[in-house]
Amino acid sequence: MPIRDLIARLLPALVVIAVLALLVAIVDLSGTRLVQNSLVEMLIMTTLVIGLYVFVGNTGITSFGHAAFICIGAYCTAWMTLPLPLKKLNMPGLPSLLHNHNLPVPVSVLVSGGLTASIAIIIGIPLLRLAGITASIATLAVYMVTAISYSNWDAVTLGTSSIVGLPGYKDAWMILAWVALAAIAARLFETSNIGLRARAARDDEVAARSVGIDILAGRLASYALSAFVLGCGGALYAHFLGTISVDAFSLSMTFVTLAMLVVGGSRSLMGAVAGTVLISLVVELLRQLERGVDVSFTVLSLPPGSQELGIALIMLCMLLVRPRGILPDRIANQTFAEPSRPVVGGSANDIAKEKTT
């Protein structure tokens, strides 16, 4: 593929990377340590939302169980990077290979993503034969099974107790590199043949079947890539916190990441990132107000739970006023369509016409 066509194909992802890089540079120059930590957390959440977008945006199936993949990735990197004395003491059920060896954090992040994707393929073969709300409920069941299993797997996960002592990995530029890889992978997938087939089945499953599109293959590929990105994001999140527990990957995380995706636009890569930035800013503002802000001779503070309430209100307003999000797929694709190709994300009927001609 010519470089010019590749750049045009990746243009939305490159715009996202450039905007986030500018934001990191500004915070790097003028931000305090607290602001820098908030930025790193936002970048990790961006990775998670991009992972969620890969599946939801390309298949149209709302996932309520993606926190399971985040949890799997986080614990996998803990098994590979936790100091050896802590592993031997707290996790006697690990294989001797893990007891005696550790991997660098970047390598463990990739391995975590690979393990998560492998599990997703095994799960997805029977699960993705379902569609609509049935498939969404099935993803929730996957989360419940994962959460209960990890909560009771004491010899390997410490059960409901927290694993502490994970090496830190909080450099904003390094995290941005992972966001860039996730954005590029998401864009390449959605414009690939199998990505286009998945989106065609999303728009009109009957028409897609009529032209011989393998619906399961498209869904399974998007599910595996989504799980890989979510597993990597979960590993990054674990190293950002330095400690993990099963409770950290609850349905609350599911709600927040889904809200980010819905507010920004569930079928647009740029929308997913825009929603993440907006919700992250709102969450940080409400978090500061919950802690209390000095105003004249009094302290203004909000009650606990205001963050969740604020996110819910924003999502509700967005669904009522602009149900396709800040940047729906039609706007993003029309803005960044390649000049020599039709707009990506056409309906199954369009693909069927092109195939028959």
Asked if the model's pLDDT at residue 5 lies above 90, the reply is: no
315 lies in some domain? no
Confidence of residue 296 (pLDDT cuts 50, 70, 90): low
Question: For the whole model, what pTM was predicted?
Answer: 0.88
Rounded to an integer, the average pLDDT of 154-165 is 89
Does any domain span residue 208?
Answer: yes
Q: How many domains does the chain have?
A: 1
What letter does residue 63 receive in the DSSP assignment? P
pLDDT at 330: 57
Angle at 267 between CA 52 and CA 280, to 5 degrees: 55
| Closest residue by Cα to residue 275 from 254, 261, 285 | 261
Q: For 180-203, what is the mean pLDDT?
A: 92
pLDDT(266) > 70: yes
Determine contact, residues 66/257, Cβ cutoff 8 Å: yes
The residue behind tokens 């003491």 is: 89
- Pick from 85-94, 139-148, 287-296, 302-311: least confident: 287-296
Q: Which of 5-9, 168-172, 222-226 has the lowest mean pLDDT?
A: 5-9
In a domain, 282, yes or no: no
- Please indicate, yes or no, if residue 273 is contained in any of the structural domains: no
Which range marks the domain in which residue 28 is found? 3-249
- Please, what is the average pLDDT of the chain? 86
Which residue bears the tokens 């728009």? 203
